[in-house]
Chain A
Amino acid sequence: MAVDVLERRAVISGIGQSQVGRRLGRSDLDLTVEAALAAIADAGLTRDDIDGLATYPGGAMGGGPFAGPTTPDVQDTLRLRLNWHDGGGEGPGQIRAVFAACLAVAAGLARHVLVYRTVTESTAQGSGGRVGIGQAMGAAGAGRGVPRFGGSFQWMLPFGAVSAGNWLALVARRRMHEFGLTRHQLAWIALNGRANAARNPKAVYRQPMTMEDYLSVRMVSTPLCLYDCDAPCDGSTAVVVSHRDYAADAPSPACHVNAIGTALRGRPSWDQFDDMTTMAARDAAASMWGRTDLRPHDVDTADLYDGFSILTMVWLEELGFCEKGESGAFVEGGKNIALDGPLPLNTSGGQLSGGRLHGFGLLHEACLQLRGQGGERQIAKRPEVAVVANGGGPIAGSMLLTAGRG
């Protein structure tokens, strides 16, 4: 290979996750500390060993229940002494924070980087503190005036296109037109997630779901129904990214970073992207495969972003698990993506049933499976290669992880 794949110098040496659930009533910092200390201990380290810290999105998006605590908050709470630190909301998906950590480790800027992603959206919803655009508009009804928007939001919000669910419904409808995608096919992303969630004690929705349930639940934004949209939750996920030199000393099997996908070659826009049926997943996936000799048929399990079911369909195609336009047929019936199928998909239940841990839950699950620690949902033939993808629309990042066993 022509390029020096620096991210391959990094491993995930430890993973940790806080309590996960609906309306836990715990602070974001409290949840983050729980996840961070678990990850650090899992890596066989103490907080004195941690010399790097990264998160998505940090304070970049105005803080609040979507963002979690900033890196200064976490650094000070744990009294970390850092050689490198990074928090931000722009980049190749939520997983950008992990990519940054890999490159920091490869560059010798840090040796053990704690990376976390924390959400408290469910508790905020319960207390009325999740101020979204809907509430901002509701304030207008109360005579307090509607805020005006510049930037990219000005092209969407005046028309009531206020949610990623609206924007991605446009992707789904276009795919129906071009490829003949049906709701009966799309349903299998939700049904597969729910079946897997039944084996995950931390998943927020575990009761069985049938095709009838899916087809009869209310619409959010056609053709996406409630079960095509992920569930807000509270929780924090943390990983420790270390230099691969440490892998042999780590008490848990290290997950080796094989390649990351970071490209964004189309326009960075929800409405102007050249191909509305793929958007940025196309570019991230292409750049990832350009950095490795592994091929899609080498992948044993996939944890693909399911903030909305349609995104998982896009990732399946763009990562090469089926031809473009054929993900509907690929998932129909569920056999290809089941826990005992050829490509076990979102084995934790994903975000649709597991809860919106915003990308990092999928990363955590990939590591668990590679380590053989999936418990009741462990894939029978322990996987050697996993792919993780985060993001949707004009935001996308993907990575290949290997178990590195012989």
Chain B
Amino acid sequence: MHGAAEPELGRPGLGRGPAVRVLPRLDDANRFFWTSGADGVLRFLRCDTCRCYVHPPGPVCPYCLRGELLPEAVSGRGTLHSFTVNYQPWIPGDGPYAIGLVAIAEQDDVRLMTNVVDCPEQALEVEMAVEVTFEQVEDVWLPLFRPAGRPRPTAAGA
């Protein structure tokens, strides 16, 4: 979009994320979210009374303060609210990778910070349609996002 034609010293070939992934510490509140990708489905807490999605997980619906919050599957689709390509090698081995802020299709004020994968830097655009793809690291399934509606890359293509 705006500014894309300006020099940003971009290089081709973005990685899928940092060289080492720091992982969340799982507990009773967040375990459903971080393990949701085991069956390939993204889930958020949803209020059974006012029907709002709630993120991050909490003990009460922050909208109606009444309902019970239960994990519920979502489509995994969303839009890229913003993005950045990180070039700073925070740790040895870091190459450039795209960090995205994705608003989920079901409720656009629910956002996830994530990595945008399978997308060259020059193709990244604010408001582009994206869909979830999971990366398992130990006991955590990290929700990453890729451009929506494109054929999945072959295993060797990543």
Contact = CB atoms under 8 A, between A and B. Distances in A.
Contact of B81 (A134, A140, A223, A276): A276
A163 interface: yes
B112 A155 contact: yes
Given A150-B27, A165-B88, A272-B109, 11 more contacts: A137-B20, A149-B25, A154-B24, A158-B142, A159-B99, A160-B99, A161-B113, A170-B82, A170-B99, A271-B101, A272-B111
A274 B9 CA distance: 31
A215 interface: yes
Given A177-B127, A221-B88, A141 B99 contact: no
22 contacts: A133-B22, A134-B91, A137-B19, A154-B30, A155-B113, A156-B113, A157-B22, A158-B21, A169-B86, A170-B84, A180-B2, A181-B3, A183-B8, A216-B7, A216-B9, A219-B9, A220-B86, A221-B86, A221-B88, A222-B87, A223-B3, A271-B112
A148 B99 contact: no
A131 interface: no
Query: Which 6 A-B residue pairs are closest in the complex by CB-CB distance?
Result: A160-B18, A169-B84, A134-B90, A154-B24, A177-B126, A148-B25
A149 B2 CA distance: 36
A82 B23 CA distance: 44
B40 interface: no
B140 A158 contact: yes
Contacts of A270: 113
Contact of A148 (B23, B90, B142): B23
Contacts of A218: 9, 87
Contact of A138 (B1, B83, B85, B91): B91
Nearest to B137: A158
Contacts of A224: 84
Interface residues of B, number: 52
Contact count band on A: 35 or more
A223 B92 CA distance: 22
Nearest to B3: A176
Nearest to A269: B56
A146 B20 contact: yes
Interface of A: 132-138, 140-141, 146-150, 152, 154-163, 165-166, 169-174, 176-177, 179-184, 215-216, 218-225, 270-272, 274, 276
A158 B16 CA distance: 12
Interface string B59-99: 00000000000000000000001111111101111100101
Contacts of B19: 137, 141
B133 interface: no
B6 interface: yes
Contact of A150 (B25, B110, B114, B127): B25
Contacts of B35: none
Nearest to A179: B2
A362 to B, nearest CB: 25
A363 to B, nearest CB: 29
Which of A152, A156, A161, A171 has the most chain B CB atoms inside 10 A of its CB?
A161
B23 to A, nearest CB: 5
Contact of B3 (A137, A171, A182): A182
A138 B3 contact: no
Nearest to A160: B18
B114 to A, nearest CB: 6
Contacts of A134: 90-91
B156 to A, nearest CB: 24
